[in-house]
């Protein structure tokens, strides 16, 4: 089912750090949909502790063997997000 399975002994590396659990979970879902065995570290600390105490970032972890694939998948999504932002500002002018 997963075309990008990895060796369980493969070392996990941090792909990106997020300020919120919400952002981290969006990226996690993107990678999992791409078949990448991603996981989060630090998410429970941010959910359980009050905001003024939980200033820790959430790490998005991927197996080292899937790092390049994961970087590419996230870059594609970030590219789409930036294109949508541009399209929103231009959309009103097109109706005239």
Does residue 7 sit within a domain? no
Does residue 54 sit within a domain? yes
Give how far Cα 47 sits from Cα of 23, 26, 41, Å: 13, 16, 12
Give the C-alpha separation, 3 to 5, whole Å: 6
CATH number of the domain to which 24 belongs: 3.30.70
CB-based contacts of 51, cutoff 8 Å, min separation 6:
none
Does residue 56 sit within a domain? yes
Mean pLDDT of 83-88: 60
Does residue 20 sit within a domain? yes
Number of domains, the chain: 1
- Confidence (pLDDT) at 71: 96
Q: For the segment 9-68, what is each residue's pLDDT rounded down to a tens digit?
A: 789 999 999 988 889 999 999 999 999 999 999 765 545 555 554 557 899 999 999 999
Dihedrals phi, psi of 77, to nearest 5 degrees:
-65, -45
DSSP secondary structure code for residue 36 in this structure = -
- Confidence (pLDDT) at 9: 75
């Amino acid at each position: 089912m997963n075309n990008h399975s990895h060796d369980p002994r493969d070392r996990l590396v941090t792909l990106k750090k997020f300020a919120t659990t919400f952002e981290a979970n969006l990226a996690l879902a993107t990678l999992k949909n791409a078949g990448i065995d991603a996981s989060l570290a630090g998410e429970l600390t941010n959910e359980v502790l009050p905001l003024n105490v939980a200033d820790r970032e959430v790490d998005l972890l991927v197996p080292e063997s899937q790092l390049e694939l994961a970087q590419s998948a996230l870059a594609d999504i970030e590219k789409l997000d930036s294109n949508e932002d541009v399209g929103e500002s231009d959309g009103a002018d097109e109706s005239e």
